[in-house]
Amino acid sequence: MAGVLALRVVAGLAAAALAALLLEHYGMAGPPSPLPKPRDAQRPHPAPGSGAHNVFWGLQISDIHLSRFQDPGRALDLEKFCSETIDIIQPALVLATGDLTDAKTKEHLGSRQHEVEWQTYQRILKKTRVLEKTKWLDIKGNHDAYNIPSLESITNYYRKYSAVRKDGSFHYVHSTPFGNYSFISVDATQRPGPKRPYNFFGILDEKQMEELISFSKKSSQSNQTIWFGHFTTSTILSPSPGIRTVMSSATAYLCGHLHTLGGLMPVLHTRHFTGTLELEVGDWKDSRRYRIFAFDHDLFSFADVTFDKWPVVLITNPKSLLYSCAKHEPLERLFHSTHIRVLAFSSSPITSVAVKIDGANVGQAAHVSGPIFILKWNPKKYSNGTHTIEVSVQDSAGRSKSVHHIFSAKENTHLKFDPLASYILLTDHYIVARVLFVLIVLTQLAILITFRYLAYPELKEPPGFANMTAFSLHILGKTNIFYYSVLLLTLYTVLGPWFVGEIIDGKLGCCFSFGIFVDGHFLQGGLTFISGIMQLVFFNIPLMAYICWSLLQRCFGYSFRSHLHQGKRWKIISIYLLMLLLYTWQVYSCYFLHVTYGTLAFFLSPLRTWLTLLTPVLIRYVWTLNSTGLGIFMVQLKSHLSS
């Protein structure tokens, strides 16, 4: 009965924890309705035609990571980008979406702000005079906020060396003869900024959300709105109504941060339930990627391209069906358009722009002005179903580039994004981590408590894996020293301070599973929950399993030496190799703690350093425990085996 009662209590706690997390994220009324956006600009005219008007374009570059220790080519190529690439493309504006500098120590584990990296960044901007050529809007990423005690700190070099030089989110309006276009930045960097790795998630407070809501309301008077930030929305902690709802009137949210998961997900694009596109761009750091985007008659198009690869081609009409949204764009203009429109750029003159639709040659696009090429067409011929447009561009240097996408001139349908990309960008990972952490802890506690109070088991014939596992859990649960050791370790992982140290240089702080306290501030847990899950899965639970297995060996009458000479020697060796690997991981976590947060954190870390030292003591006690303490279990096993 006690075991059943314990399971019911655990189930109730899990349900309560999940409900509390959902309540915290969505508030009392659930996910709120998106903010409405006026549709003054959503008219069929002016439609894309033969002129060079009603169009402008810009660039996005992200995760530059200028470093004093790593890859000097990042700075050299950035200088070339700011001179040659900007001169060729001539964007109306450039969005530099965070992690402008690397801010890591030489061994690549610690973190600190290096003024020389920021000086390099500013020197490039000044030397290339890029700020005179275009509007350069740069914002902070989590690396740019490493180890910064406050915005007023002298180490907040963003204030001194960036192009914007103003902390926080901002609203920039790009004015043209055919209307205004709003660009709203989202600064979710933590304040204060802890050292790595616990600032992987961005955090927005109530005040910052109110500011963003006011920007959103002001942008309703613009033709179109683009939001941009460093963090993906899935890595931003924000109060109700949530960051996605606040930006719901935007055509797209442009971001970086995830580096396309090291190239494993080269396309990380999706659409919010409000219709807003979320478009993560590949990093400059390793991939030298950047993005060109355009508004052509208020229709949004973009292409992600590689630095110094020419030509660069963007089809602006007809636009891609995958990235179309009737909620935010006047898609009816496509059906009323008179010309296919293409932007083509190269360091050498463009010599040919050939267009195909559904594999059939349509003709050669003619040059109008600058990078704009047009070809007359009749969209009514393509009013049924979906079609594929392909544009092949050649320049005088013999280089060529072909791009294609699916479009629909009339159908109000959508293509679906990659489900994995949508999961990565639309899931609030800090909520998933919290729930998973709580469920793992409650499951482990339920097992411990259940086997503590269940009646002594009766061994069944034959003694299979499940039967022996349950028997070993009974031994653990009913042996006080091991039961309370594992119980205390689990509870401490949830509630106790993991370490005390310099979370920021000169600022002592304390790290818990649910967040970090530093210099009078509390930073909500995001990556801390993920670290907690790793601690449970890769050490705490395996340690509990090993203790159970060792106690079972003791009940069979084996000592530490004798059990190593059993017939199943390779099975035993594999167990010890696995435990050695996991213990090595625990030792490395102590070293990482020392490198990132200092000597004090290393010594004042119960969950890392102290646990690493106590583990061999606990294991030794398992193998040296007086056999009288296991007497009743040994008797049961012997009687079972003899029968």
Q: What is the mean pLDDT of residues 504-511?
A: 94
- pLDDT higher than threshold 60 for residue 306: yes
Q: What is the mean pLDDT of residues 363-379?
A: 96
pLDDT at 411: 64
- pLDDT higher than threshold 90 for residue 233: yes
pLDDT at 1: 42
- pLDDT higher than threshold 60 for residue 3: no
Percent of the chain residues past pLDDT 90, beyond the cut: 78
Copy the structure tokens of residue 95. Answer: 């969005």
Distance, CA of 511 to CA of 534 (rounded, Å)? 15
Torsion of CA 432, 435, 436, 437, to 10 degrees: 120
Q: What is the mean pLDDT of residues 55-62?
A: 98
- pLDDT higher than threshold 60 for residue 212: yes
Burial (CB count <10 Å: 0-12, 13-18, 19+), residue 112: middle
- In this prediction, residue 16 has a pLDDT band, given cuts at 50, 70 and 90, of very low
Per-residue pLDDT of 539-586, as tens digits, reads 999 999 999 999 888 887 777 776 666 667 778 888 899 999 999 999
Q: Bigger pLDDT: 326 or 163?
A: 163
- In this prediction, residue 36 has a pLDDT band, given cuts at 50, 70 and 90, of very low
pLDDT at 623: 87
Distance, CA of 492 to CA of 510 (rounded, Å)? 14
Q: What is the mean pLDDT of residues 529-533?
A: 97
Indicate the range of 40-49, 152-161, 300-309, 337-346 predicted with least confidence.
40-49
pLDDT at 559: 73
pLDDT at 12: 46
- pLDDT higher than threshold 60 for residue 640: no
pLDDT at 625: 81
pLDDT at 466: 81
pLDDT at 150: 94
Per-residue pLDDT of 588-625, as tens digits, reads 999 999 999 999 999 999 999 999 999 999 999 988 88
Q: 343, 65, 40, 93: which is closest to 221 by C-alpha?
A: 40
pLDDT at 160: 96
- pLDDT higher than threshold 90 for residue 475: no
Distance, CA of 271 to CA of 259 (rounded, Å)? 19
Per-residue pLDDT of 372-382, as tens digits, reads 999 999 999 99
Is the distance from CB of 615 to CB of 543 less than 8 angstroms? yes
- In this prediction, residue 6 has a pLDDT band, given cuts at 50, 70 and 90, of very low
pLDDT at 11: 44
This prediction has a pTM of: 0.89
- In this prediction, residue 465 has a pLDDT band, given cuts at 50, 70 and 90, of confident
DSSP 109: S
- In this prediction, residue 8 has a pLDDT band, given cuts at 50, 70 and 90, of very low
Indicate the range of 48-52, 434-438, 458-462, 545-549 predicted with least confidence.
458-462
Estimate the crossing angle of helix 465-478 against helix 631-642, to 10 degrees.
160
What contacts 212, CB < 8 A, 6 or more positions away?
A: 169, 184, 186, 204, 243, 246, 247
- In this prediction, residue 344 has a pLDDT band, given cuts at 50, 70 and 90, of very high
